Amino acid sequence: MTVNESTKTIVRERAGHRCEYCQLHQDDSPLATLHVEHIIPRKHGGSDEVENLALACIDCNLHKGPNLTGVDPETEEITVLFHPRQDDWDDHFEWQGIQIVGKTPTGRTTVRVLEMNSDEQLGLRLS
Protein backbone atom coordinates (compact mmCIF):
# COMPACT_ATOMS: atom_id res chain seq x y z
CA MET A 1 0.00 0.00 0.00
CA THR A 2 1.29 3.47 -0.80
CA VAL A 3 0.47 6.80 0.76
CA ASN A 4 -2.03 8.65 -1.44
CA GLU A 5 -1.40 12.11 -2.87
CA SER A 6 -3.94 13.92 -0.69
CA THR A 7 -2.25 12.53 2.44
CA LYS A 8 1.16 13.55 1.12
CA THR A 9 -0.17 17.07 0.56
CA ILE A 10 -1.42 17.23 4.16
CA VAL A 11 2.00 16.10 5.46
CA ARG A 12 3.89 18.61 3.28
CA GLU A 13 1.66 21.51 4.29
CA ARG A 14 1.69 20.58 7.99
CA ALA A 15 5.52 20.61 7.89
CA GLY A 16 5.65 23.93 6.05
CA HIS A 17 7.53 22.19 3.21
CA ARG A 18 10.47 21.69 5.59
CA CYS A 19 12.23 18.51 6.74
CA GLU A 20 10.88 17.79 10.19
CA TYR A 21 14.28 16.50 11.30
CA CYS A 22 16.97 18.89 9.96
CA GLN A 23 14.63 21.75 8.99
CA LEU A 24 15.83 21.88 5.34
CA HIS A 25 13.20 23.69 3.26
CA GLN A 26 12.07 22.18 -0.04
CA ASP A 27 13.34 25.29 -1.85
CA ASP A 28 16.84 24.50 -0.53
CA SER A 29 16.75 20.91 -1.77
CA PRO A 30 17.22 21.47 -5.51
CA LEU A 31 18.03 17.89 -6.46
CA ALA A 32 15.27 16.01 -4.66
CA THR A 33 11.72 16.42 -3.47
CA LEU A 34 11.33 16.00 0.27
CA HIS A 35 9.96 12.56 1.14
CA VAL A 36 6.88 11.62 3.10
CA GLU A 37 8.30 9.02 5.47
CA HIS A 38 6.95 6.69 8.12
CA ILE A 39 8.05 7.72 11.61
CA ILE A 40 7.44 4.18 12.78
CA PRO A 41 8.27 2.11 9.70
CA ARG A 42 5.78 -0.39 8.35
CA LYS A 43 8.15 -3.24 9.23
CA HIS A 44 7.71 -2.25 12.89
CA GLY A 45 3.92 -2.01 12.62
CA GLY A 46 3.70 1.64 11.55
CA SER A 47 0.65 2.71 9.58
CA ASP A 48 0.01 5.04 6.65
CA GLU A 49 -2.08 7.29 8.93
CA VAL A 50 -1.14 10.96 8.77
CA GLU A 51 -0.03 10.94 12.45
CA ASN A 52 2.68 8.39 11.57
CA LEU A 53 4.01 10.38 8.63
CA ALA A 54 6.63 13.11 8.53
CA LEU A 55 8.30 15.17 5.84
CA ALA A 56 12.00 14.39 5.52
CA CYS A 57 14.81 15.41 3.22
CA ILE A 58 16.44 12.61 1.30
CA ASP A 59 19.49 12.55 3.61
CA CYS A 60 17.50 12.33 6.84
CA ASN A 61 15.12 9.76 5.35
CA LEU A 62 17.88 7.50 4.02
CA HIS A 63 19.94 7.67 7.21
CA LYS A 64 16.92 7.07 9.42
CA GLY A 65 15.76 4.10 7.38
CA PRO A 66 13.87 1.64 9.63
CA ASN A 67 15.69 2.83 12.78
CA LEU A 68 13.65 3.70 15.86
CA THR A 69 16.65 4.02 18.19
CA GLY A 70 20.36 4.70 18.21
CA VAL A 71 23.23 5.17 20.63
CA ASP A 72 23.59 8.49 22.43
CA PRO A 73 27.17 9.61 21.68
CA GLU A 74 27.46 11.19 25.14
CA THR A 75 26.17 8.35 27.35
CA GLU A 76 26.52 5.39 24.94
CA GLU A 77 22.99 4.34 25.96
CA ILE A 78 20.37 3.17 23.48
CA THR A 79 17.93 6.02 22.99
CA VAL A 80 14.80 6.58 20.92
CA LEU A 81 14.98 8.85 17.88
CA PHE A 82 13.13 12.16 17.62
CA HIS A 83 9.43 11.64 16.85
CA PRO A 84 8.01 14.67 14.97
CA ARG A 85 4.43 14.03 16.12
CA GLN A 86 5.24 13.51 19.81
CA ASP A 87 8.35 15.63 20.40
CA ASP A 88 8.97 19.36 20.08
CA TRP A 89 12.01 20.17 17.90
CA ASP A 90 13.17 23.02 20.14
CA ASP A 91 13.17 20.75 23.20
CA HIS A 92 15.68 18.39 21.58
CA PHE A 93 17.78 20.50 19.21
CA GLU A 94 19.34 23.90 18.87
CA TRP A 95 21.21 25.75 16.18
CA GLN A 96 24.86 26.61 16.72
CA GLY A 97 25.68 28.47 13.53
CA ILE A 98 24.84 26.05 10.74
CA GLN A 99 25.21 22.99 12.99
CA ILE A 100 22.30 21.24 14.68
CA VAL A 101 23.21 20.24 18.22
CA GLY A 102 21.27 17.73 20.29
CA LYS A 103 20.25 19.06 23.71
CA THR A 104 18.87 15.75 25.01
CA PRO A 105 19.74 12.07 24.60
CA THR A 106 17.03 11.87 21.91
CA GLY A 107 18.41 14.94 20.14
CA ARG A 108 22.04 13.79 20.27
CA THR A 109 21.10 10.32 19.07
CA THR A 110 19.00 11.67 16.21
CA VAL A 111 21.76 14.04 15.09
CA ARG A 112 24.15 11.08 15.08
CA VAL A 113 21.94 8.50 13.34
CA LEU A 114 20.57 10.90 10.72
CA GLU A 115 24.02 12.47 10.19
CA MET A 116 22.36 15.86 10.41
CA ASN A 117 25.71 17.70 10.24
CA SER A 118 27.25 15.84 7.32
CA ASP A 119 29.36 17.84 4.89
CA GLU A 120 26.47 17.68 2.40
CA GLN A 121 23.94 18.97 4.93
CA LEU A 122 26.24 21.78 6.06
CA GLY A 123 26.83 22.74 2.41
CA LEU A 124 23.09 23.02 1.81
CA ARG A 125 22.73 25.23 4.88
CA LEU A 126 25.46 27.56 3.63
CA SER A 127 23.77 28.18 0.30
Q: Using one digit for the tens of pLDDT, what is the confidence trace for 65-92?
A: 999 999 999 999 999 999 999 999 999 9
> Could you please report the per-residue DSSP string of the chain?
----HHHHHHHHHHTTTB-TTT--BGGG-TTSPPEEEESS-GGGT--SSGGGEEEE-HHHHHHHTT-SEEE-TTT--EEEPP-TTTS-HHHHEEEETTEEEESSHHHHHHHHHTTTT-HHHHHHHH-
Q: What's the whole-model pTM score?
A: 0.94
Q: Using one digit for the tens of pLDDT, what is the confidence trace for 23-67?
A: 999 999 877 899 999 999 999 999 999 999 999 999 999 999 999
Q: Where are the domains positioned within the chain?
A: 5-126
